[in-house]
Structure 1
Amino acid sequence: MKSNNRIAAIDIGTNSFHLVIVELQQNNSFKLLDKQREVIRLGSHKGEDLSVISEGEIEKAVDILKNYKMLAEHYGASVRAVATSAVREAENKDKFVKTVKEKTGIDIEVIDGRTEAKLIFYGIMNAIDVTEKNVLCLDIGGGSSEFIYAEKGNPVITESVKIGAVRLSKKFFPDFILRKDSIEACQSYVEAQITYIKNLIEGKKIDQVIGASGTIVAAAILVQELFNKPVKKSINKLSFTSDELNFVYREIINRKTPAERISLPGMELKRADIIPAGIIILKTIFDLFGIKNITLSEYALREGIIYETILKQSTVKN
């Protein structure tokens, strides 16, 4: 029995799938009932860039989504599933969406980059109060990175760039082994891709830089471990400095293979292969934008999906 006050939001990303199930409260806030995360790479096995989702990836995706659907049904939650970079770019996008619908009953919304950026911001503003500040928000995913500049809670610039930890690993480190020329090529490429965003926000006042998801969360956890900081229950509002990031960057780049990187305290096993590309993106953004400090948001795209769904429901009611 579905209740219209429970929502299951599914984020079909390039490096992982996320599920959050929430119960809506009186004041349009929500209470977390359950959450799941599965690492799955879409578009990483075949074709150039992220151009093809392989048969094996489709099968694994269907298995994960079947489980997510069962969990949503257990809670009586309505399902809203959103797919980002890898699916929107895949040549066989339609086949992927159709197969998932046939085998799981889940309708997937494939969203464009700007919509993704806006939903990420909706998530962030529910985790951190940004109503009185001008903020720059960053989210480095597997296939793309999102940049949001917001003034007092209003997103003014929402941009998505085709740089992500899986995409750039495939492009510059296909065997996940680091070489000096590949590292330099990757840095130059990232800089070339994001210079226009730097120009867009040039001269704008930034009170706070906020980061969400994948690479940025992984970097924060590595900082916590490598600097022996007290472990907190939640990553929300954790922060780290450019100096701390530079230290983590050096530790990662000096370890040429995934096997060497796994030994780093705080390194997630399934991220050791793609973390160099992610950390190069993050450090290049820090350097280019002159960022000194970043604060983490526990909420991102999936909570943004929930917030937007609540907004839509309250509009319909009114």
Structure 2
Amino acid sequence: MSKRVAVMDLGTNTFHLLIADGDIDNYQEIVHYHEAVKLGEGGINKGYIVPEAYQRGIDTMQMFAREIKANNATETRAIATSALRSASNGQDFIKEVKDKTGISIEIINGEQEAGFIYQGVKISGCLSAQNSLIMDIGGGSVEFILGNINGITWKQSFEIGAARLMDLFHRTDPIPPASIEALNLYLEDHLNDLFTAVATQKVDVLIGSSGAFETFAEVIEIEKGHPFDLKTTKNYNFDESELLTLTNKFVQSTHKERAASKGIIPVRVDMIVAASLITRFIMHKLGISKVSMCSNSLKEGVLAGMLA
């Protein structure tokens, strides 16, 4: 008998709820919500959750609890990452959620986060025997996982997420060239462990896990006049020049131009600039020309463990 489970991925920008049943090779999504909570807004680099964001988080968790009950999920896991990990009032939030909903939130570290992301990407079927570098750009942190279908050779989480970079460097729009240069130098300084890890390994492809990479794929296809549905597109291979052209366009754009672009969900309208800059930096720095998108990420990795 298959069980029905609920996974909550409580990220810096977005809270996700995935309710599914079946087995891991053939599971059925019952509910899939993503709420733009923006938990890091206004306080991400100060180390606390501001009152408005805190309240949005509580309201969303109460809504998730109602959905879980209505859909008769028998097992739940709520996973919190960078924003709650580093917030001084993170424990207050966890206690209030437990008191009001009965949901126990687990705070995981960056290594665990990277491990779940790998499992999520693996079950999508987009890994091969060749080495891939998986990159998951969150609001608070960015995870890099080096490995293949047989396992992980190296993984690490870096507190350089799009919300953090936006707060540090993207204060005027479009982002000025001096800020781009400062952001690139910042990445150069903070990603030494990544450069060391890949120095002796040949990376066949960069796999972008969900988030910004879904936006890149969707906008590229919409601009070609093609339909694009993330529910049916689990994997997508980019044309290098199309991806670089699009990221360049995002970097040079204004908020108004991005907001008018079909394919960018509201929570990513501003974050997409920092995400574009990280993506371009990694491609150029590591000399990677093959890039693909995988719509699976942490929540599917947690789901894999629950349904196994």
**Contact 2:136-2:208 at 8 Å conserved across structures:** yes
* Conserved 8 A contact 2:218-2:228: no
- The alignment partner of 2:233 has SS state of coil
Query: What is the CA-CA distance between 1:19 and the residue it aligns to?
Result: 0.8
**8 Å CA contact 2:258, 2:269 repeated in 1:** yes
CA contact (8 A) 2:19 2:31 kept: yes
Distance in 2, matches of 1:305 and 1:180, equals: 40
Q: 1:67 to 1:176 in 2, by over 3 A?
A: farther
Matched residue of 1:106: which SS? coil
Map of 2:216 onto structure 1: 219
Among candidates 235, 244, 247, match of residue 245 of structure 2: 247
Deviations 1:43-68 (A, max 9, x none): 2213x615111122121111111111
Identity of aligned residues (%): 30
2:205·2:291 contact (CA, 8 Å) conserved in 1? yes
Uncovered stretches (5+) of structure 2, i.e. residues with no partner: none
Letter in 1 for 2:143: E
Please report how far the alpha carbon of residue 117 of structure 1 lies from its aligned counterpart in structure 2 after TM superposition: 0.4
CA drift of 1:7 comes to 0.7
Q: Which of 116, 121, 126 pairs up with 1:124?
A: 121
Alpha-carbon distance in 1 for matches of 2:154, 2:189: 19
Q: Answer yes or no: is 1:52 the counterpart of 2:48.
A: yes
> What is the aligned partner in structure 2 of residue 21 from structure 1?
19
TM-score by length of 1: 0.89
Residues 142 and 166, structure 1, Cα contact 8 Å, conserved in 2: yes
> Cα deviation per residue 1:85-144 (whole Å; 9 max; x = unaligned)?
111011112111111111221110000001000000111111125363432211111111
Shift of 1:186: 1.2
Asked whether 1:66 is paired with 2:62, we answer: yes
Match of 1:316 in 2: none
TM-score normalized by structure 2? 0.92
The 5 A counterparts of 1:44-193 are 44-46=41-43, 49=45, 51-77=47-73, 78-130=75-127, 132-174=129-171, 177-193=174-190
Residue 272 of structure 1 and its aligned partner are, at CA, apart by 1.5
Once residues 122 and 218 of structure 1 are traced to their aligned partners in structure 2, the CA distance between those partners, rounded to angstroms, is: 22
Q: In structure 1, how many angstroms separate the alpha carbons of the residues matched to 2:199 and 2:220?
A: 29
CA deviation map 1:229-252 (0-9, x unaligned):
553562312121331221012211
Other structure's SS at 1:97 match = helix
**Preserved contact between residue 97 and residue 103 of structure 2 (Cα < 8 Å):** yes
The CA deviation string for residues 134-182 of structure 1, in whole angstroms up to 9 with x for no partner, is 3221111111111111133311211111111111111112355522211
Cα offset for 1:28? 6.1
Return closer, same or farther for 1:275/1:179 CA change in 2, 3 Å cut-off. Answer: same
Q: Contact 2:126/2:235 (CA < 8 Å) preserved in 1?
A: no
Q: Indicate how the Cα distance of structure 1 residues 93 and 283 shifts in structure 2: closer, same or farther if over 3 A, else same.
A: same
Distance apart, 1:195 and its partner CA: 3.4
1:40 aligns with 2:37: yes
Structure 1 residue runs of 5 or longer lacking an equivalent are: 312-318
C-alpha distance in 2, partners of 1:99/1:155? 36
Matches of 1:299 and 1:97, distance apart in 2: 26
Cα 1:190–1:53 change in 2 (3 A) is: same
| Farther-moved stretch of structure 1 (241-250 vs 105-114) | 241-250
SS state at 1:61 partner: helix
Question: Which residue among 197, 202, 206 is the counterpart of 2:194?
Answer: 197
1:203, distance to aligned residue in structure 2 (A): 2.6
Distance in 2 of aligned mates of 1:264 and 1:187: 26
SS at match of 1:82: strand
Query: In structure 1, what is the equivalent of residue 8 of structure 2?
Result: 10
Instruction: Provide the secondary structure at the position in 2 that maps to 1:160.
Output: strand
Deviates more, 1:169-178 or 1:91-100: 169-178
Find the residue that maps to 1:88 and give its secondary structure: helix
